[in-house]
Structures are given as structure tokens and as C-alpha cells.
Structure 1
Amino acid sequence: MMRTLLFVICSLLVPVALSAQQAHFTKLHWAKADSVAACYPRHAVTDPKTLSDKLTRSLTTDAEKFRAIYTWVCTNIASDYSLFRLNQHQSNKLKDDAAALDAWRRQFSRRVFQVLGRHHRTVCTGYAYLLRELARHAGIRCVIVDGYGRTVQANIRGEGDVNHSWNAVQLDGQWYLCDATWSSGAIDPAQGIFIKNYDDRYFLADPAMFVRNHYPVDTAYMLLKDKPSLQAFLYAPLIYGNIYKYKAMPVSPSTFDVEVVKGETVMFQLEGEAVGSVTVRSGSLSEDVAVAPEGDDRYCFDYTFTARGRHVVHVLIDALYAWTYTVQVR
């Protein structure tokens, strides 16, 4: 998904408490908050205090108030592909000229907020900024987190690029992570259009899963005691948002690039609370595999590579893409 931007807005850095996730709010019903958000389609964002008051005044808990704000932002703000491409082009062009790049970022920031205010379109920093401002007017502590967003097009191997922004929010004394940009929908790069598709999988997300494609510059905002290194992040299997449905993640092989000998059987391990049918797909070939439990929410399956060459290998759960490897068969 091409929803990244090499553009940084400074955020207030604060000490981060122990991790938390959406599961802690399962007793809350989000329906009321979501219905409030639906009452104000296309509301102006030039006066965030008025909008925040409308979204939160009928709700009693900070969690519900933040949910209404988050839902409104994700369903009313669109990603602007032309802005993304413009910034990507200029950032690449000026990457070796720090002064010129800094001047471009200042100029571009003004354009981002003009487009957001006039047309309800933006890029990731616009989403993160608006979410922070609406939360602030509701008395909710929310900060912008800058870091490395990992997608099919970005931060695969290499040294990594700081290309994305998201938020951390404090509710009931705990810190949570969310990404309004990725919850709002996706850009279709072939058509150059934004496809709206609100999905709350990145709302108060599990930090252990969130860090698989969000690596913060300030690692305190991982909300994890055991923090992966940036290199481990950049060279890990590429995961997709569908893992949130099953709370499933790859364990072994632990790297994106795998080398095997022709005819060698490789054992793949994964962990998750619930795992459906698993399919391995490489090119036009798909094969359902038998998954065996190993205990403690861990599962494994074997797969034999019979053709030499470099293969892009996808693991699907219930026909949904979960993660991807590249496999070099010697």
C-alpha cells in the first residue's frame, strides 16, 4: 500500500507506560461512538475544537470519545496520492542536499494542511496531526509518532527510510497505538486513486503485531519490553493486515530471504490464537498444507521446494494473504 510519506512533524515525546491493546476495551460497545461519528459527514476541519466537541459531548468515557474521533477521521479524510507522489519525487531528488530537503519539507507541510482544510484529503502526517488535535480538544493525550512504515513498496531490506506517521494515545493511564491512515482505506497505485475502506484493525492495535510494519524512531513507542532491532524489522517476513484477524505471526523462518536446496523440506512455524486453512502460493501455483499444532498457540507445516530459482512465496490463511518470503532454491 502506497500510503507513506517522507515528511516529519515534531511531536511531544513522553515517557511511555506499559503496553496495552484494544482487547482491554472489549466490554465497551463502540456502536454509540461510531454512530456519533456518522452524524457529521464532511464537517469542516478548520475549527478542530468545534468538531471535537460535537463528536465527544454525548459520550462519557475517554475511550468512546477517542473512538468517535478516530472513526470520523478515518471515514471522512481521504489519502491524496498526488501529494504522496509529489513528496516522494522531491524527497528522492533532494536526498543528498539537506538544506534543500529541509526547505522542501517546510513548503510541503503548508500545502498538506491547505489541502486537508479545503478538500479533506491528506497524507499520513495530516491524519496523525488531525487525530492529535481533535483528541487534545477532548482532553485526551495523543501524540504523533514518526517512523518506518513497512509495505510491499517500502522498507524491504536496506537501511530503512523514515516514511510514515501514526499516533499513540493515552486512555485510562495506558498507552495505545493506532494508524488512521491505514485504517481509512488504500491507494490503488495502478489507477492512482484512493479506495475508501474503513477497517479498525489498526485501532488500539496489539503492539507485538503493530511493530511488524510500524517501527518508531523513538523505540519507547513500540510499547514493548522486548524490542526488535531495526535490522530485524527490515529483514523480517513481510506481513499484511490480515494477521490481525487471527492474531497470527510467522516464527520461522524469521527472515524475508530464505535459501534452500532443491528438494529440501522446510518447516514453517507460526503462532496465533486461531489459524484456519493455510495455503502456500508461489507464482501461479497454490498448495493447501496440513497444519499441525505444537502447543502454546504455535503451529507448523512442512513445504518442499522442487524448482530452482528465486520464488516469491506467500502464506495465506483462509485465502487471505498473511505474510510473504522470497526463497532462493539452489
Structure 2
Amino acid sequence: MPQKKIALIFLLLNSIFINFTFAQKISEVDKIVAKYPKSFDSTEKLADRIEKDFDSDYDRSRAIYSWIAFNIRYDYNAYLNPPRTQGFSYSSEAEKQQKIKQLNDNLIQKAFKSKKAVCEGFTALYQHLASLMGIKCEIIRGDSKISVRDIGRKTTSSNHAWNMVLIDKKWRLLDVTWGQGYYDSSKGRMVNDFNPAYFDTDPDYFFAKHFPDSGTYLGKRLSKEDFLNGPLIYNTTIENDYKIKSPDSGIIEARNGDKITFEIKNLSKSNQVFYVNKRNQAVKVQNPKEKRGGLEFQITIDNNVGEYITVFVDGNSVVSIKIV
């Protein structure tokens, strides 16, 4: 089966099953923010409302995430047809910084007023609202990993941006762009579906799907090779702490008759575990064993296994690997 068709199947299945899981993860902060107006006269008035309703920096940071995710939509048309880079001239460093600030302010206000943005707008608006509340926030740019086609990808260009916020002397990772929804390839449009998995995400999960241009996180060197060649994990994996213990590589060399061993944390025999073969048929895993707080099972490589194997748990995609 062609690679594009396989990727489409996996993305479609993931988008179908994603809604139920996250509908159950709404926090009390989210419930309050969901009742806010969709529009405010200014970012300052929105920040004032959040500061009034919530006492801690953690809840305020979550409230910013929730409001943006509920109300700002990903501008897929702008993603497909990005505007030409806007240049400018300057005669001094002060004038340069002033013009950069003006461009950033325009980006923030455009996202806030139009209710549409790509990741640059999401991250700039988040940072701006956090700064109005005295919360230290950074914008991080880098690479992202979202589909089976990214497993083993050779191109390494920067294509995404996210935020870090400093709360209680600890940096927290968040991606509000991914918090607002997902692209449904079957409908050819973005779907609004609030996703809390990318607020204060565990770094191990976060950096399985994000790689900063700096190559470091809090002074710790990260491996771009491990990022690109590792298994692809999904939102459900993060939300349910389905840590993938095996395989540790996303690229597996195998021949017909070889068995690929999977070990996934926080699963039991009560979970329905299957994969989809190249004929788009669901194949239930055989003889799974409970082991060390998780489930271990094997998938045998045969003529029905395609270029990719995606494991599903209770209808949700959890991990994909590439077979070569």
C-alpha cells in the first residue's frame, strides 16, 4: 500500500477515536474558562479576568492555555500559503528592536482579534498574556514529529514553536497550538477539540514529539537522531502514561517470520490491543503477558504487515514504528 494511503488511514483512525479520551480530562480551571466570553476588548482585560478568578501562577497559566485553545483556531490556509517574510530597514539597534517589537505586537493582536493563527501567533499570544500576569514565559522554536512519515525523516528544518513557563521555580512545557485541535485529513480541515495533554507535559513525552533548535533543554543535551528515529507516540500515550519500553527504536529491520516485541506501561489484559495491517484490517495481538506494570506482546512480520505498524489500545492509536 502506498505510504501516503497508510499515513492517511492512521491519521483518520486517530482523529476518530481521540475525542472520547480527552473529553474526560477537563479540569476545574478549564470549566471556568469555558464560560468566558469568546472575545475581550483587549488582552489586558482578559488577563485581568484570569488574575481575578485564579490565585496561583499554575492555574493562571492553565487558564491562558485553555482560553487560547478554546477560542483561537489554527489557520490551515495560512500554513499552506505562508505570507512573505516582512523585512524592514533601521539605522540603529534601538530602532531595530522597536520595529521587531511592533511586528510581534501586530502578530499578537492579529491572533487575538481574528481568532486565527499558526504556531507563531499561538506562542506569541500565550507569552504576552503570561507577561501581563508577571509569569515568566519563553518561546521555543524547533522540529516536530506528528505522523508516521516523520519516523526516520532526514530533513531537520525548524517547523514549529511552543512555550515554556516558569511556575514555582520549575519550567513547564506546553504547546497550546496542539491544545486547540487537530487536522482531520478525511475532511480536509481543522477540527476544534480541546486537548489538555500538552499543558505541563512530562519532558520525556514532550521531546518525543518536539525537538528544540538549540538541541538542549535546561542545559541537558538532547539527541536529534533519537528524536527522528524513535517510535511515534500519540496523544493517548501521553494522557494515559503508556510509556513505550520496547521497542526503543522507531525503525526496525525485520524479515518475514521475525517477531517484534512490544512492552507498554500501564496496560493490562483487560485492554483491547490490536494493530492495522496493510489491508486496513484490525488484527488483535495474541497471547499478551502482563509484565512489570504493563503488557508485553509480539507482532509477527508477514506479507500482511505494511511499512508501518501502529498499535491501538481501546480504539486509540498509541505507538507507530517503521519496518525496513
TM-score normalised by the chain length of structure 1: 0.76
> CA–CA distance in 2 between the matches of 1:191 and 1:49?
37
Structure 1 residues 282-310: Cα deviation after superposition (integer angstroms, max 9, x where no partner): 22232222322332x35421121221885
Partner of 1:279: 274
Q: How does 1:108-127 map to 2 (within 5 A)?
A: 112-113=107-108, 115-127=110-122
Q: How many aligned residue pairs are there?
A: 283
Partner of 2:50: 55
> CA–CA distance in 2 between the matches of 1:300 and 1:199?
28
Distance 1:76-1:305 versus aligned 2 partners, 3 A rule = same
Gaps of 5+ in 2: 1-6, 8-25, 89-99
Tell me which amino acid in the other structure corresponds to 2:245: V
Matched, 1:151 2:161: no
Partner of 2:10: none
Matched, 1:129 2:107: no
Q: How does 1:295-310 map to 2 (within 5 A)?
A: 295=292, 297-307=293-303, 310=306
> CA–CA distance in 2 between the matches of 1:201 and 1:212?
14
Tell me which amino acid in the other structure corresponds to 1:248: Y
Q: How does 1:168-187 map to 2 (within 5 A)?
A: 168-187=164-183
Indicate which of 288, 307, 311 corresponds to 1:291.
288
SS in 2 for 1:315: strand
SS in 2 for 1:211: helix
Partner of 1:259: 253
Partner of 1:96: none
In the TM superposition, residue 253 of structure 1 has moved relative to its aligned partner by: 2.8
> CA–CA distance in 2 between the matches of 1:113 and 1:83?
15
Partner of 1:74: 69
In the TM superposition, residue 86 of structure 1 has moved relative to its aligned partner by: 0.9
Partner of 2:236: 242
Gaps of 5+ in 1: 2-28, 91-100
Over the matched positions of the two proteins, sequence identity in percent amounts to: 26
Distance 1:253-1:191 versus aligned 2 partners, 3 A rule = same
Contact in 2 for aligned 1:314/1:324 (Cα 8 Å): yes
Tell me which amino acid in the other structure corresponds to 2:226: A
Partner of 1:83: 78
> CA–CA distance in 2 between the matches of 1:189 and 1:288?
26
> CA–CA distance in 2 between the matches of 1:202 and 1:179?
5
> CA–CA distance in 2 between the matches of 1:153 and 1:161?
17
> CA–CA distance in 2 between the matches of 1:282 and 1:265?
15
Matched, 1:37 2:30: no
Distance 1:321-1:127 versus aligned 2 partners, 3 A rule = same
Matched, 1:320 2:313: no
Distance 1:111-1:169 versus aligned 2 partners, 3 A rule = closer
Partner of 2:163: 167
Contact in 1 for aligned 2:72/2:112 (Cα 8 Å): no
Structure 1 residues 233-292: Cα deviation after superposition (integer angstroms, max 9, x where no partner): 01112211110232113333333332212112222233x234533212222232222322
SS in 1 for 2:122: helix
Distance 1:262-1:288 versus aligned 2 partners, 3 A rule = same
> CA–CA distance in 2 between the matches of 1:58 and 1:246?
29
SS in 2 for 1:212: helix
Relative to total residues, which structure has the larger helix share, 1 or 2? 2
Contact in 1 for aligned 2:277/2:306 (Cα 8 Å): no
> CA–CA distance in 2 between the matches of 1:73 and 1:167?
13
> CA–CA distance in 1 between the matches of 2:216 and 2:118?
24
Contact in 1 for aligned 2:261/2:298 (Cα 8 Å): yes
> CA–CA distance in 2 between the matches of 1:309 and 1:205?
33
Contact in 1 for aligned 2:162/2:174 (Cα 8 Å): yes
Structure 1 residues 111-132: Cα deviation after superposition (integer angstroms, max 9, x where no partner): 8556424311001111111111
Tell me which amino acid in the other structure corresponds to 2:133: A
